[in-house]
Amino acid sequence: MSTVTTSKPGGGAAAPVAAATAAAVRTEDGRIGLRANLRHIGALVRRNTLQIKQDPESMFDVLFMPIVFTLLFVYVFGGAIAGKGNQGDYVNYLVPGLMAMMGMNIAMAVGTGVNDDFKKGVMDRFRSMPIARSSVLIAKIVVELGRMMIAIGILLIMGFILGMSIKTSVLDLLLAIGLSAVFGASLMWIFILLGLTLNSAQAVQGMAMVVLMPLQFGSSIFAKPATMPGWLQSFTDYNPLSNLADAARGLMIGGPVGHPATVTLIWSVAITAVTMPLAVRKFRQKT
């Protein structure tokens, strides 16, 4: 899987950040003020965006993953689950679930990118600058959320081509996308922490697959839990991906929304509250 956070050694990659730090504003206790922090995040977002421009192949996963997944699951599983010739009905079920999966797969790129940036010395240069340590990581999440929105847009286009219909409203669709983005951002903190903890990008990818596979396939993304064994149904009830997929379906094609959306938000807040401070602390301490 490609990443968007790699960078060539040298001063060019950090030039936008250096310009922003020249005007850094500190509070009386030496901490960086909010305005300066936001300016640094903006400069780092620009730096990461320029990396995409310099390495357009890093967008291949975002551009092609939604197309491949939609076609693969609709035409491989659609007939078996919805019945031969009823793939159109399965599209309405599948696409909201794939929105939940997009965030998890793209989040993995953040961890591998952070790990690679440390290997190339880019992060050491950032840590030598008078910028908030969290701004480096937040900027990565902002850029990855942008990539995630592109992937979801392509996913929805594919869904409409294959016969998907929104049975609620445009506002509900936007709420489903927003909920997916909130949960995806929380997952990115997990993978950033993994990227800062493990020794190589390959190790991050390997660990991610161990976690991703049970969560993705042991959920309501691809099939209704009612068709699963009892023990697996219990697992899907607590699986955050199931709750996100169910909430997105409720918002897009109708159905219960309140409970699955609330559970998804609780998971998002809890994951962020635990992993964000740990990731920032690890970023400060990593050598």
pLDDT band at 251 (very low <50, low <70, confident <90, very high): very high
The angle subtended at Cα 269 by Cα 267 and Cα 275, nearest 5°, is: 95
The pLDDT of residue 228 is 86
CA–CA dist 168, 159 (Å, integer)? 16
**Residues in the chain, total:** 287
Alpha-carbon distances of 82 from 161, 193, 222, 241, rounded to whole Å: 18, 39, 11, 21
Radius of gyration, CA atoms only, the chain: 20
pLDDT band at 9 (very low <50, low <70, confident <90, very high): very low
pLDDT at 19 over 50: no
Of 117, 121, 130, nearest in space to 37 by CA = 130
The amino acid at residue 70 is T
How is the chain split into domains, by residue range?
12-285
Rounded to the nearest 10 degrees, what angle do helices 87-119 and 240-253 cross at?
A: 130
pLDDT tens digit string along 78-124? 777 766 666 677 888 889 989 888 888 888 888 888 887 777 777 76
pLDDT at 279 over 70: yes
Tokens of 72: 């693969």
Alpha-carbon distances of 208 from 28, 32, 103, 186, 202, rounded to whole Å: 42, 34, 13, 15, 10
pLDDT tens digit string along 42-89? 888 888 788 788 877 778 888 888 999 888 888 887 777 766 666 677
pTM: 0.80
The pLDDT of residue 21 is 46
> Among the ranges 60-64, 89-93, 177-181, 198-202, which has the highest mean pLDDT value?
177-181
